[in-house]
Amino acid sequence: MFLKNSWYVAAWSRELGDTPLARTLLDQPVVMYRAGNGAVVALEDRCCHRHLPLSMGAVVGDDLQCGYHGLKFDAAGVCVEVPGQTSVPPGARVRSYPVVEKYHWVWIWIGDPGKADEALIPDWWWADHPDWASARPDPLYIKCNYRLIADNVMDVSHLNYVHKSSIGSMATHEFPVVTEREGGKIRMTRWIYDRPPPPMYKKAGNFAGNVDRWQIAEHIPPCFSTNEAGCAEIGHGHEDREKDGGMKIFALSAPVASSSAQIPSPCEPFNPVNKSTAVSVAQA
């Protein structure tokens, strides 16, 4: 079961050029390409003639040409040319999908096109901010339901065991997690006071003693999860203070099928200090 009336991240902007890119999203085969004018186009990956995947064709100007008999389709999915014919059958077309290029990603709407409101894309301003360094790793494919990915990112307790050599610390068990709902968003917050920093925090911040830390995990259905974490010297990490000593890590999962998912950004940390720290966390 999928929520079709929602935006999903289909690809990195850098992945799209003048070569068709095939992706499966919500059990739907999709082909994407960048038209001659630079705009991103997303179509059903199936020619309406003999059903050859259009991703096996070629980009010709602003159109996509089928690799079987040369039919050309425009950005709206309408067949505009049939080689050897002077006219095009009026029903010759494939489905097109609304797309938005934002935050270095290509967002796609698989559901009702009339409900595709760009304002529904999460406001992740820091993903484009020049002062925030990013690792931007390659897409990852996982054989599990996409909801399990959100479960993992929201589960801050596993850090103490899975990532104990980098960003985990047993001291977190001493402090409670506060869960809140805000509209359709879920937020889980934990503050850890006057405790030793995890190995990676100690190295990145050059801390000599104990610190105050924060863990803030948020989830926006259907599959957008963020985890903000950081630390500061004791007394400087209070909830009301600007959290400028941390980073934001998020996972965007796009359902491929019921038992598999594509993660365009498996774990993309943004750090306001330097890129090397962001890269280290991505590898952790």
The domain spanning residue 13 has which CATH number? Answer: 2.102.10.10
CATH number at residue 278: 3.90.380.10
- Residue 95 is encoded by which pair of tokens? 């489905």
Q: Are residues 92 and 172 in the same domain?
A: no
Distances (CA, A) of 56 to 21, 22, 29, 75: 9, 9, 13, 17
**15 by DSSP, 3-state: which?**
helix
Q: Are residues 205 and 245 in the same domain?
A: yes
Assign 267 a pLDDT band (cuts: 50, 70, 90): very low
Q: Are residues 139 and 32 in the same domain?
A: no
pLDDT of the residue at 269: 45
User: What is the average pLDDT score of the chain?
Assistant: 84
pLDDT over 60 (residue 276): no
**Residue 122 included in any domain:** no
pLDDT of the residue at 137: 67
The rounded percent of the chain whose pLDDT value lies above 70 is 83
Is the model more confident about 43 or about 169?
Answer: 43
Q: Are residues 212 and 78 in the same domain?
A: no
pLDDT over 60 (residue 30): yes
**Residue 121 included in any domain:** no
Residue span of the structural domain in which 26 resides = 7-114
pLDDT of the residue at 268: 46
- Residue 216 is encoded by which pair of tokens? 């803030």
pLDDT of the residue at 164: 84
Is the model more confident about 237 or about 92?
Answer: 92
**Residue 154 included in any domain:** yes
pLDDT of the residue at 171: 84
**Residue 253 included in any domain:** yes
How many domains in the chain? 2
pLDDT of the residue at 270: 46
**Residue 127 included in any domain:** no
Domain boundary among 114, 149, 172: 114
How much is the average pLDDT of 106-131? 88
Q: Are residues 168 and 94 in the same domain?
A: no
Return the closest-CA partner of residue 62 out of 33, 85, 101, 93: 33
pLDDT over 80 (residue 70): yes
Residue 230 near residue 245 (C-beta atoms within 8 A): yes
**Residue 227 included in any domain:** yes
pLDDT of the residue at 138: 72
pLDDT tens-place string over residues 184-242? 899 999 999 999 888 887 877 778 889 888 888 888 888 888 888 888 888 765 555 55
pLDDT of the residue at 82: 97
Domain boundary among 53, 87, 114: 114
pLDDT of the residue at 251: 63
Separation CA 158–CA 156 (nearest Å): 6
Assign 54 a pLDDT band (cuts: 50, 70, 90): very high
SS3 per-residue string spanning 25-63 = ECCEEEEEEECCCCCEEEEECCCCCCCCCHHHCEEECCE
Q: Are residues 148 and 265 in the same domain?
A: yes
pLDDT over 70 (residue 66): yes
How much is the average pLDDT of 37-58? 97
pLDDT of the residue at 134: 64
**Residue 124 included in any domain:** no
Q: Are residues 171 and 96 in the same domain?
A: no
**Residue 77 included in any domain:** yes
How much is the average pLDDT of 258-271? 57
Residue with token string 């610190």: 211
Q: Are residues 18 and 60 in the same domain?
A: yes
Q: Are residues 227 and 260 in the same domain?
A: yes
Q: Are residues 163 and 279 in the same domain?
A: yes
Separation CA 263–CA 277 (nearest Å): 21
Calculate the dihedral angle through the C-alpha atoms of 4, 9, 10, 13, rounding to the nearest 10 degrees: 150
